[in-house]
Amino acid sequence: MINIKKDTKYIYINKNFIKLYSYLKKNKNISNIIILLDNNTKKFCLYYLLKKINNFKKKIIILKIKSGEYNKNIYTCIKIFNKLILYKIDKNSILINLGGGVITDLGGFIASIYKRGINYINIPTTLLGMVDASIGGKNGINFNNYKNEIGIINKPKLILINIKFINSLSKNDIFSGLGELFKYGIIYNKKYWNYLKKIDFNKLKNIKWKKIIYKAILIKNKIVNKDPNEYYGFRKILNFGHTIGHAIESLNLYKKKYISHGEAISLGMICESWISNKINKLNKKEYNEILKILLRYYNIKKIDNKYLNKIYKFIENDKKNNNNKINFSLLNKIGKCVFNINIKKKIILNSIKIMNNINVK
């Protein structure tokens, strides 16, 4: 069992749920245990969790939602709130989010506002959830196709990462989280970037996931702990690739088409790396290096010109914007990211057009 250093001692990487058992045993005033999950985690992960908590003489309620980003919305929240009220869930209850980013985002949001807040635990079951979505205390839902438009920052009591769950993931699920891993190296730690780019993630056997995930969490928490609530802005560097990437996700929600978070963010990083080279300090060599690695795992999904203004409309509503200025987090070099860089519409749309015309050999 790995405890992620003192400043993040509520995060554990292990092969079982020993820490969960200890937490529930210690907190005897817990009245109900609610497990939020989706179709996939009910099938592949619920069994392992129930083995650890069935011994407690607590009421266990399982709430299942449909899988997928499209269900991370206010209507799903309303359904869950109605069920929580129906089951008379009180303030001393605890919500366990068993799933990927959709479950931890949605569940953390629900726990944070139901009865003005109940405690919750994240058990991420996807690579994206393990290295990003469940870490840092950001919770939220999509609204009117705008990505994570409504939310709150509130950390869980525990984050329990079981590497075994990675074995149940498809290659597409792995790649959805891989984009965030690359991002950590690109924005903050060139050594980590150099470490990752030597690994062939197309060959999933013998990958040292525990080491990879451990290092990713250390990087993210180092950034988060410098600016937990984004008061000073430094945490915004985590949004590199996300201004355009979230707009691409929002466009697909609008079109009712699927794109994974990692794929959308990687396309966003390609665009924003080009902008970093065009108007910031990122040199051509490092831009091409980023491009080469990302194209190893992600295909370019061209965005029809007729949707460019729609994309821009989503970007105009990005959370980093201020006083009607569109702010980006951009690279000076690999491992060094700056924030609050105002970018004009023409440059933004040109970056998407450049991406559309990349020739993949």
Residue by residue, pLDDT tens for the chain (361 residues) are 555 555 557 899 976 788 898 899 899 999 999 999 999 999 999 998 998 888 887 889 999 999 999 999 999 999 999 999 999 999 999 999 999 999 999 999 999 999 999 999 999 999 999 999 999 999 999 999 999 999 999 999 999 999 989 988 999 999 999 999 999 999 999 999 999 999 999 998 889 999 999 999 999 999 999 998 887 889 999 999 999 999 999 999 999 999 999 999 999 999 999 999 999 999 999 999 999 999 999 999 999 999 999 999 999 988 788 888 899 999 999 999 999 999 999 999 999 999 999 976 5
Of 134, 62, 133, 122, whose CA–CA distance to 98 is shortest?
122
**Torsion 308-311-316-321 (CA) sign:** negative
Contact between 327 and 279 (Cβ < 8 Å): no
Q: How far is CA 60 from CA 21, 116, 151, 290, 353, in A?
A: 14, 21, 26, 47, 51
In contact, 112 and 194? CB cutoff 8 Å: no
By CB atoms closer than 10 A (0-12, 13-18, 19+), residue 88 is exposed
List of domains in the chain: 2-168 (3.40.50.1970), 171-356 (1.20.1090.10)
The secondary structure element, H or E, covering residue 64 is strand 59-65
Residues β-bridged to residue 38 = 65
* Structure tokens, 261: 């978070």
